[in-house]
Amino acid sequence: MATTVAPKLYKNYIGGEWVDARGGSAIENRNPANTDDLAGMFPASTAEDVAAAVDAAAEAYKTWRLVPAPKRAELLFRAAELLVRRKEEFSRDMTREMGKVLAETRGDVQEAIDMTYYMAGEGRRQFGKTTPSELPNKAAMCVRQPLGVCGLITPWNFPMAIPSWKTMPALVLGNTVVIKPAQETPLSVYNMLEVLNEAGVPRGVVNLVSGAGSTCGPAMLKNSGVKAVSFTGSTEVGILVGEECAPLLRPCHLELGGKNIILVMDDANLDLAVDGCIWGGFGTSGQRCTAASRVGVHKKIYREFLDRFTARAKSLKVGDGLDPASEMGPVISKKQLDTVMSYVQIGTNEGAKLAAGGHRLQGGPWAKGWFHEPTIFADVDPGMRIAQEEIFGPVVSVIPVDGLAHAVDVANGVKYGLSSAIYTRNVNAAFSAMRDLHTGIVYVNAPTIGAETHLPFGGTKQTGNGHRESGDAALDFYSEWKTIYVDYSDRLQRAQIDTGNLGPAE
């Protein structure tokens, strides 16, 4: 393929140095909107590279854990300031490597900024507990302590936001990090690492190894020097990650798939609901774990809603994310495009009505990219594969529902449980939905996307294994509690045994 610019050769970041991969091979990072555009050449790392990064992180941990948390936080604050200054540059880099429109990549970088500022604040808020002892002249307390080297495996759809969700809480707590970005979008993680380096994070505290997940992932998981693993990706791969961690009893955080739904009740503000379903279904070309790939619509307003929704979807301008006029970019790769097209065929074979889209966009401005039309299936049965399986593309299934109880049953009738939403003006219905929707996130009169960094993020069922990212909940995964007792009675006191001898005061 031709390239519009000379490719830049990138290296791994290990022990505070930019170093070549041991094998010498490289992976192309091409713009999914224009495959002639080569964003860079990135290392195809080996198990040896991963081992070197883990060793560097383990050595750095010896001193990093002793740096006072407020001082660690000051470095994160500096990094946040640098991210602010370079936001536009990093956003354009992200659009070029990932494809989503500039408005969205600016939001992605902003999320990394928000998370870095937030975790900088946590440097002075790593609160433990003090509590009265049951024995006299004895103090009792508990404090957080870091885990050690954390292995982070991140996806391609949020190339800087999700890495920041994992990296910043790990660092402020005193852990060191080895991060393996998705091979489709390594550049944004490189940009984040450069900022942390410039902010003064010591050598070896953060390490980056780029390459194929099939090579680097197992190498990280099998390395006993890695004390905790955080993975965001598919449920199928997440199960394998969990299985690898189990024999070592290693803490493992899994953030996996979603099949999210927006419920539109008969009293909803239809204009607002359509806006939300367009953004929820087609933002990031549907390539979000929180994407609203299902819409359950009350039968009383079903046809009116469907007409408005399909008209809006058909009017969306699909194109290069660097074009300010584009409202939706490409999917990430030919492989993902093939997956989307296969599900369109599945939906057609299942008997769903293709109401909008359904085709690859080719020729003209789409000739050199992986573009697909915004696609809507109508009259979808909740049991159809297109309403059950994660597609990760711009395909939305519209399902008629009889009322709130039926809508909630449909919403909960999938194996995932990440995000859900309801549009209604009825406060009773809203609170019932908030109670009964079995998802980690619920929105009222807003789409299923738009999580904020100071609140927990994560899901139920096969969306994850119970841990949460973002907010102070993230601190729980990257630390463990240490309970401390200080007996200053100068005599042996036996908890529970001597407690019973104290008796009432005479």
CA angle 112, 123, 455 (to 5 degrees): 50
Alpha helix stretches (DSSP H) within 200-333: 213-221, 235-245, 270-282, 302-315
The confidence score (pLDDT) of residue 462 equals 97
Q: Which numeric CATH code is attached to 14-256+464-482?
A: 3.40.605.10
On the question of pLDDT at 3 being above 70, the answer is: no
Confidence label for 506 from pLDDT (cuts 50, 70 and 90)? very low
- Alpha-carbon Rg for the chain, nearest whole angstrom, is 25
- Considering only residues 506 and 262, tell me which one the structure prediction assigns the higher pLDDT: 262
129 touches 67 (CB < 8 A): no
Check if 14-256+464-482 and 261-444 are the same fold.
no
On the question of pLDDT at 499 being above 90, the answer is: no
Give every CB contact of residue 506 below 8 A, 6+ residues apart in sequence: none
Give the mean pLDDT of 252-279.
98
242 touches 276 (CB < 8 A): no
On the question of pLDDT at 502 being above 70, the answer is: no
On the question of pLDDT at 90 being above 90, the answer is: yes
pTM, rounded to two decimals: 0.95
Element (H, E) at 409: helix 404-412
Q: How far apart are CA 305 and CA 300, in angstroms?
A: 10
Question: Active-site residue among 255, 327, 373, 390?
Answer: 255
The confidence score (pLDDT) of residue 154 equals 98
Give the mean pLDDT of 370-393.
98
19 touches 56 (CB < 8 A): no
Which of these, 206, 118, 110, lies nearest to 474 by C-alpha position? 118
Confidence label for 383 from pLDDT (cuts 50, 70 and 90)? very high
Q: Which numeric CATH code is attached to 261-444?
A: 3.40.309.10
pLDDT digits (tens, 9 = 90+) for 31-79: 999 999 999 999 999 999 999 999 999 999 999 999 999 999 999 999 9
Question: Active-site residue among 150, 216, 245, 289?
Answer: 289
On the question of pLDDT at 14 being above 80, the answer is: yes
- Can you tell me which residue has the tokens 């990064």? 53
Structure tokens at 77: 């604050």
Task: Determine the distance from the C-alpha atom of residue 402 to the mean position of all C-alpha atoms in its chain, rounded to a whole number.
Answer: 33
Q: Is 289 a catalytic site residue?
A: yes
Q: Is 134 a catalytic site residue?
A: no
Q: What is the mean pLDDT of the chain?
A: 96
The confidence score (pLDDT) of residue 24 equals 82
Give the mean pLDDT of 151-169.
98
Domain ranges of the chain: 14-256+464-482, 261-444
pLDDT digits (tens, 9 = 90+) for 287-313: 999 999 999 999 999 999 999 999 999
On the question of pLDDT at 82 being above 60, the answer is: yes
The confidence score (pLDDT) of residue 23 equals 86
The confidence score (pLDDT) of residue 382 equals 98
On the question of pLDDT at 145 being above 70, the answer is: yes
Give the mean pLDDT of 204-220.
96
pLDDT digits (tens, 9 = 90+) for 19-32: 999 988 899 999 99
Q: How far apart are CA 271 and CA 213, in angstroms?
A: 42
What is each CA distance from 358 to 310, 324, 355, 372, 382, in whole angstroms?
12, 25, 9, 8, 20
Give the mean pLDDT of 358-371.
97
The confidence score (pLDDT) of residue 429 equals 98
Structure tokens at 454: 């100071």
102 touches 321 (CB < 8 A): yes
Percent of the chain with pLDDT over 90: 96
On the question of pLDDT at 326 being above 80, the answer is: yes
